[in-house]
A and B are shown apart, each in its own frame.
Chain A
Amino acid sequence: MALADRTAGRESSSLDVRRAWRQADYWATLYLRTWKSSVVSSFITPLLYIVAMGVLLGGFIKGDPSKLEGATSYLAFVTPGLLAAQGMNTVVGEVTYPVMGMIKWQRIYFGMIATPLTVSEVVLAHLGFVVFRVATVSAVFLAVMAPFGVFESFTGVILAFLVQLLAAVAFAAPVYALTTRLKDESGFSLIFRLGLIPMFLFSGGFFPVSNLDTWMEWLAKATPLWHVVDLTRMLVLGTVDGSTALIHVVYLVALAAVGWVLAVRGLERRLIS
């Protein structure tokens, strides 16, 4: 019995990228139908933060590059932090309620796996859509911020953009995995209140984590958001430290990989019994 289960498990985790791509029309149709309702949260809200925190609050903060991790102004300091935080918020919005809806409310995933698609391919397409959403949000954000002179080099901006895509997977896969293991939506408020909001505030987006007590600083440095913020900031400010950057990338890749395995396994458990 256990053997049969394992054999079948191999089938559901088989992954054919071309077959997964067949879901493109679904996600495109869904996006075309819903993008307008996400305009405010995706494109306007981050700019409000920029104005309020970066420009207005930042006006009171004297830019000392040695205290602002190499940024010449608070706006330049906070911009990469907000970019990273915006990516995280977009991701978590996409892999909590929508994923649960497709599992238990609308049960759309059940329709999908009745076709040649496998569970891995379903997860891949959904995460692919999340990456696409982060790409649009990040591209607009970077384009709007470019004229403010907060970026050192074009290459740095492009690399920072790519980092947001990696970060999208690193956030999406584990949270997706968590969603597949929740019975109902009440768990989401814990994710938001205990995970998202503290990370948003204390992971180095708004102030250098070195301002924190030592133990809090280490706690902040353990969060995925800090790795994204620090890496993004290095790239746009041109203050890249090779070995630190490598640690960030390895951390995010590892998080994405572990999240992926758990996400596929979690969805398998919900769809295939």
Chain B
Amino acid sequence: MIYASGLRKSFVAGGSTVEAVRGIDVEVRKGEYFGFLGPNGAGKSSTMRMIAAVSPVSGGSLKILGLDPAKDGPEIRARIGVCPQEDTLDTELNVRDNLVIYGRYFGLSRTEVKQRAEELLEFVQLTEKATAKVDDLSGGMKRRLTIARSLINKPEVLLLDEPTTGLDPQARHVVWDRLFRLKQQGVTLVMTTHYMDEAEQLCDRLVVMDKGLIVAEGSPTDLIREYSTREVAELRFGIGENELVAPKVEDLAERVEVLPDRLLLYSADGEETIAKVHERGLEPVMSLVRRSTLEDVFLRLTGRTLVD
């Protein structure tokens, strides 16, 4: 569905050239739920905009549905759906009209578009809000309306740029549920996110991006297996103590990570690791064992430094 090779994106901002995407290879297959994971500024959104055929490719090659975005932009956009990071809903129009008018841009007849609008309102649970003003919707409802709008042309590929950023937990779960249903209907989904739980729950396959490059690729479980251990023991020794204890337990785990408030010991068996820590006469204030998550992979690959 999507094929990128050596894909690059650079633009001039404030007199200097910014290289947002520095040569990535990506292939998204039909019916797959594919994720771009990465911190802010990793190049996810730039990549998505190129795939959405609204941002010219700076280098490398990109094919969407077998078409070239530089030449066949309108045709590509006719067959994909885009759910942007920031809502671009029309607040002058009511909820239903936002869908109907948008559908018209795809050349759909009024009858067709009205029928689809009703179906989609049902799908995103906004039927009762059909005549409401967009401004009166909650953040979660606006997001669902944007998702409904991106589906008005029955897209073969749906692009979602951080679909749940800024939503409360309940609203996120409703969105996830809808996205999962779309996947079951056979829609190919491509999503960017910086929420690990989101990627882990929804994505079949994902790439981790950092500083414009792909640093890892695979299914969530593959990535955890490859870049982390099965379990993580978290130990708290009190503020200031953690750094002092770290060298004493280094050999007990595959990897030890020092955080300001706790130590993370990556090992296959967390309980056993904690037992060994106790054998050495070290008494953490608190300890727990958990399974490795994508977050561990992510932080290992992209580091803990804050990128603004």
Co-assembled chains A and B: yes
Q: Which of B52, B58, B71, B101 contacts A1 (CB 8 A)?
A: B58
Which chain B residues numbered 86 to 118 have a C-beta less than 8 Å away from chain A?
A: 86, 88-93, 97, 100-102, 104-107, 110
Instruction: Find chain A residues with CB under 8 A from B82 CB.
Output: 114
Q: Which of A19, A26, A272 contacts B101 (CB 8 A)?
A: A26
Q: Does B75 contact A (CB under 8 A)?
A: yes
Q: Does B54 contact A (CB under 8 A)?
A: yes
Q: Which of B54, B56, B97 contacts A7 (CB 8 A)?
A: B56
B194 CB to closest chain A CB, in angstroms?
Answer: 21
Q: Are A9 and B90 in contact (CB under 8 A)?
A: no
Q: Are B105 and A29 in contact (CB under 8 A)?
A: no
Q: Are A5 and B56 in contact (CB under 8 A)?
A: yes
Instruction: Find chain A residues with CB under 8 A from B166 CB.
Output: none
Given the contacts A1-B10, A116-B78, A8 and B57 also touching, CB distance less than 8 Å = yes
Q: Does A271 contact B (CB under 8 A)?
A: yes
A interface, CB within 8 angstroms of B: 1, 4-5, 7-12, 14, 16, 19, 22-23, 25-26, 29-30, 33-34, 106-108, 110-118, 271-273
A10 CB to closest chain B CB, in angstroms?
Answer: 8
Q: Are B59 and A110 in contact (CB under 8 A)?
A: no
Instruction: Find chain A residues with CB under 8 A from B86 CB.
Output: 107
Q: Which of B11, B93, B100 contacts A273 (CB 8 A)?
A: B11
Q: Are B90 and A108 in contact (CB under 8 A)?
A: yes
Instruction: Find chain B residues with CB under 8 A from A12 CB.
Output: 73
Instruction: Find chain A residues with CB under 8 A from B41 CB.
Output: none
Instruction: Find chain A residues with CB under 8 A from B71 CB.
Output: 7, 11
Instruction: Find chain A residues with CB under 8 A from B56 CB.
Output: 4-5, 7-9, 272
Chain B 62-73, CB within 8 Å of chain A: the 1/0 string?
Answer: 000000011111
Instruction: Find chain A residues with CB under 8 A from B186 CB.
Output: none
Q: Are A116 and B74 in contact (CB under 8 A)?
A: yes
A37 CB to closest chain B CB, in angstroms?
Answer: 12
Given the contacts A108-B90, A116-B77, A272-B54, A7 and B70 also touching, CB distance less than 8 Å = yes
Total interface residues on B, CB under 8 Å, equals: 39
A12 to B73 Cα, complex, angstroms: 8
In the complex, what residue of chain B is closest to A7 when comparing beta carbons?
B70
Given the contacts A22-B107, A116-B75, A271 and B54 also touching, CB distance less than 8 Å = yes
Instruction: Find chain A residues with CB under 8 A from B77 CB.
Output: 114-116
Instruction: Find chain A residues with CB under 8 A from B90 CB.
Output: 106, 108, 111
Task: Give the number of A-B contacts (CB < 8 Å).
Answer: 100
Provide 30 A-B residue pairs closer than 8 Å at the C-beta atoms, listed in order of the A residue: A1-B8, A1-B10, A1-B58, A4-B70, A5-B58, A7-B56, A8-B73, A9-B56, A11-B69, A11-B74, A16-B74, A22-B104, A25-B101, A25-B104, A26-B104, A30-B93, A33-B92, A34-B92, A110-B88, A111-B90, A111-B102, A111-B149, A115-B106, A116-B77, A116-B105, A117-B105, A118-B73, A272-B55, A273-B11, A273-B55
Which chain B residues numbered 136 to 152 have a C-beta less than 8 Å away from chain A?
A: 149
In the complex, what residue of chain B is closest to A5 when comparing beta carbons?
B56
Given the contacts A4-B57, A19-B74, A272-B54, A114 and B107 also touching, CB distance less than 8 Å = no
A25 to B112 Cα, complex, angstroms: 14
In the complex, what residue of chain B is closest to A24 when comparing beta carbons?
B104
B interface, CB within 8 angstroms of A: 8, 10-11, 52, 54-59, 69-75, 77-78, 82, 84, 86, 88-93, 97, 100-102, 104-107, 110, 149, 153
Residue among B11, B52, B90 with most chain A CB within 10 A: B90
A102 to B133 Cα, complex, angstroms: 18
A219 to B74 Cα, complex, angstroms: 45
A146 to B91 Cα, complex, angstroms: 40
In the complex, what residue of chain A is closest to B80 when comparing beta carbons?
A114
A13 to B71 Cα, complex, angstroms: 11
B45 CB to closest chain A CB, in angstroms?
Answer: 11
A110 to B54 Cα, complex, angstroms: 9
A111 to B58 Cα, complex, angstroms: 23
A175 CB to closest chain B CB, in angstroms?
Answer: 22
A94 CB to closest chain B CB, in angstroms?
Answer: 14
Given the contacts A1-B10, A11-B70, A29-B93, A115 and B105 also touching, CB distance less than 8 Å = yes
B143 CB to closest chain A CB, in angstroms?
Answer: 14
Q: Are B101 and A29 in contact (CB under 8 A)?
A: yes
Instruction: Find chain B residues with CB under 8 A from A22 CB.
Output: 104-107
Q: Are A4 and B58 in contact (CB under 8 A)?
A: yes
Instruction: Find chain B residues with CB under 8 A from A19 CB.
Output: 74, 107
In the complex, what residue of chain B is closest to A115 when comparing beta carbons?
B105
In the complex, what residue of chain B is closest to A6 when comparing beta carbons?
B56
In the complex, what residue of chain B is closest to A112 when comparing beta carbons?
B105
Instruction: Find chain B residues with CB under 8 A from A117 CB.
Output: 74, 105
